[in-house]
């Protein structure tokens, strides 16, 4: 949530900041602002609303001259989205300016103490305590003031700070929120995401918790809280700049949906060698895999939904117990973890706060941690024992599509690896499943290229009030994700239900014309799904069936049908999700919604 960027160098800071903030829009925001040092004073520009308001206010940055500055996009938390609450925040004489991604949990007592000392506040935010604290502790040495402030504040945060008295230095610090330093030629950057600075540099340093970065035009120095000098090694980001641009598509979400065949192929290819699954990142022998007692899968949102799918596949193939938890619930239910359990944490950004904290809790118990993430060098990747990267490239749209598909593939591979190690998957079945997996990219591409029917169906349900998704087994898991996609971007009320639960209350919600998306890909459950389709049809529902070839009875019972290519039933949801993503997308477009930046949502949830 929120986005920060900072710049020091030979170019006009405001222009660089605006460009970076535009690339951070996907993180979600409702106000934006910049602070730039012009050689004499720190100038502020802040505005509620979209970034173009700030752009017009500053005439594209022309009204804020100078080569040192910080910028911010804010989601309203403490106080509404208005100019006073927008970042950056400053001390009384505007000699210190601060931007923050995160939350200061003890800001109220700090605020009271500062007011008692004569400090005046102009906003309702937690962030405003920071420039006043720095002002209180500052006696000429910014680093010492920052350290004293860090000893007083509690929470999760990433900060960018400038001091009028030190116009040659940009300061940054983090705790549990993402922060990178970008290394350029005669210029350097800070940002909460590499996409913000990818146009300017590919060389980045990941700042660790409670580390202070002092950034100048020609060098960057890093310090611990004890002022010990730290050595940091830059990483080269190999993402193509065009991967963070629309490339001619109307929306990032559409572009990212269309990239799914490549993403699935890129996630599969390096892990299939000579007809065998090789997960080098796992660094566990076959014996160690077989000795794992239980798998816990922990995630949030769409990543959690991939875990629900994985539970069915692990238990079916590897015959081992699997628990799937929302990270926010896992932390507080006192789970019964053992040393020989494996905890798999899944996060697109690698920065999801609840997932990161769940990881740390499991690690304290002594469990091995495997992270499935998309962002190299992210906090979760650095904390885990092993990391499987999904290689999906930057995902800009808030509603995940390609990262979700990549996570599914990673989990298929992992389940099959465990099944092989435990002696349940080998020979012809093993080879057949690998063959089926390698066909998935082409099959996904076929579904994407034949989307006219979904567009036609979507056009008829733009004004829908409620849409329900039903399925059994794995298909229930995919229904959860289909429903989430629709509600995220179209703002239509939607729910997913295990189809067998309809009679336990849910069927009372069916009205004439209510749309039901029924996912029926599992051969052993098709007859039961047919009964459920007839149940809701008898009460006036309209049914869109997503099913596999040869399901004539389901096709006859449904009003609309999307037929999937033939594949192993355990992999069917990689195909079933495609029409559900497209349904959500085209309904949202038809309703005029901001598909890439849906209201109230953020791409990376870095606070609890």
Give catalytic residue positions. Answer: 2, 603
* Torsion sign across C-alpha atoms 113, 119, 122, 123: negative
Q: Which tokens belong to 301?
A: 């949102």
As beta bridge partners, residue 109 has none
SS3 label, residue 205:
strand
Give the residue carrying structure tokens 């079933």: 576
DSSP, residue by residue, 400-451: -SHHHHHHHHHHHHHHHHHHHHTTSS-HHHHHHHHHHHHHHHHHHHHHHH--
What is the b/e burial string over 497-509, where b = at least 16 CB atoms within 10 angstroms of the residue's CB? bbbbebeeebbee
Answer whether 176's CB lies under 8 Å from 605's CB.
no
How, if at all, do strands 68-74 and 31-37 pair?
antiparallel
How would you label 404-431 residue by residue, b for 16+ Cβ within 10 Å and e otherwise?
Answer: bbbbbbbbbbbbbbbbbbbebbeeeebe
Helix (H) or strand (E) holding 557: helix 552-557
What is the separation of C-alpha 475 from the centre of its chain, rounded to a whole number of angstroms?
23
Tell me the β-bridge partners of 542. 515
Q: Please, are residues 113 and 138 in contact by the beta-carbon 8 Å criterion? A: no
**What secondary structure does DSSP assign to 144-162, as a single string?**
HHHHHHHHH--EEEEEEEE
| H or E stretch covering 32 | strand 31-37
Spatial distance between the Cα atoms of 6 and 72, rounded to a whole number of angstroms: 9
């Amino acid at each position: 949530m929120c986005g920060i960027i900072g710049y020091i160098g030979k170019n006009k800071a405001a222009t660089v900041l605006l460009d970076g903030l535009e690339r951070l829009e996907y993180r979600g925001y409702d106000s934006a602002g910049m602070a730039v040092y012009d050689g004499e004073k720190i100038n502020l520009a802040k505005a509620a609303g979209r970034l173009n308001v700030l752009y017009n206010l500053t005439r594209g940055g022309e009204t804020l001259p100078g080569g040192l500055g910080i910028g911010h996009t804010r989601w309203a938390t403490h106080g509404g989205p208005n100019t006073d609450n927008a970042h950056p925040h400053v001390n009384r004489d505007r000699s210190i300016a601060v931007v923050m991604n995160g939350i200061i949990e003890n800001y109220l007592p700090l605020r009271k103490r500062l007011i008692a000392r004569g400090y005046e506040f102009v906003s309702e935010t937690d962030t405003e305590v920071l420039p006043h604290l720095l002002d209180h502790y500052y006696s000429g040495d910014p680093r010492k003031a920052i350290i004293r402030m860090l000893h007083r504040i509690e929470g999760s945060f990433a900060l960018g700070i400038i001091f009028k008295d030190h116009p040659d230095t940009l300061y940054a610090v983090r705790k549990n929120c993402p922060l990178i330093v970008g290394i350029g030629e005669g210029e350097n950057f800070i940002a909460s995401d590499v996409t913000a600075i990818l146009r300017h540099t590919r060389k980045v340093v990941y700042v660790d918790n409670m580390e202070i970065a002092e950034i100048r035009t020609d060098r960057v120095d890093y310090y611990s809280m004890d002022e010990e000098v730290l050595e940091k090694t830059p990483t080269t980001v190999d993402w193509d700049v065009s991967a963070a641009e629309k490339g001619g598509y109307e929306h990032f979400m559409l572009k990212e949906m269309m990239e799914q065949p490549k993403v699935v192929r890129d996630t599969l290819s390096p892990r299939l060698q000579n007809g065998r699954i090789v997960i080098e990142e796992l660094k566990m022998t076959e014996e160690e895999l077989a000795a794992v007692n239980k798998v816990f899968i922990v995630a949030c949102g769409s990543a959690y939904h991939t875990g629900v799918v994985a539970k069915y596949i692990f238990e079916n193939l590897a015959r081992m117990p699997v628990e799937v938890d929302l990270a926010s619930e896992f932390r507080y239910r006192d789970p019964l973890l053992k040393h020989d359990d494996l905890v798999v944490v899944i996060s697109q950004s690698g920065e999801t706060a609840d997932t990161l904290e769940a990881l740390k809790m499991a690690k304290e118990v002594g469990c091995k941690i495997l992270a499935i993430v998309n962002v190299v060098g992210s906090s979760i990747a650095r904390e885990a024992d092993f990391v499987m990267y999904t290689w999906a490239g930057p995902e800009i749209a808030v509603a995940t599509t390609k990262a979700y598909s990549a996570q599914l593939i990673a989990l298929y591979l992992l389940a099959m690896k465990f099944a092989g190690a435990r002696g349940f998957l080998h020979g012809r079945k093993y080879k057949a499943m690998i063959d089926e997996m390698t066909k998935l990219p082409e099959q996904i591409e076929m579904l994407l290229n034949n989307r006219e029917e979904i567009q036609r169906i979507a056009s008829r349900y733009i004004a829908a009030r409620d849409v329900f998704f039903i399925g059994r087994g794995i298909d229930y898991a995919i229904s959860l994700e289909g429903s989430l996609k629709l509600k995220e971007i179209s703002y239509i009320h939607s729910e997913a239900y295990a189809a067998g639960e309809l009679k336990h209350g849910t069927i009372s919600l069916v009205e004439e014309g209510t749309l039901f998306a029924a996912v029926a890909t599992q051969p052993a459950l098709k007859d039961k799904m047919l009964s459920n389709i007839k149940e809701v049809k008898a009460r006036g529902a309209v049914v869109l069936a997503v099913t596999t070839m040869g399901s004539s009875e389901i096709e006859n019972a449904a009003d609309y049908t999307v037929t999937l290519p033939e594949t192993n039933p355990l992999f069917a949801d990689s195909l079933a999700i495609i029409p559900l993503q497209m349904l959500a997308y085209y309904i949202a477009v038809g309703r005029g919604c901001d598909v890439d930046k849906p209201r109230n949502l953020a791409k990376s949830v870095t606070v609890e």
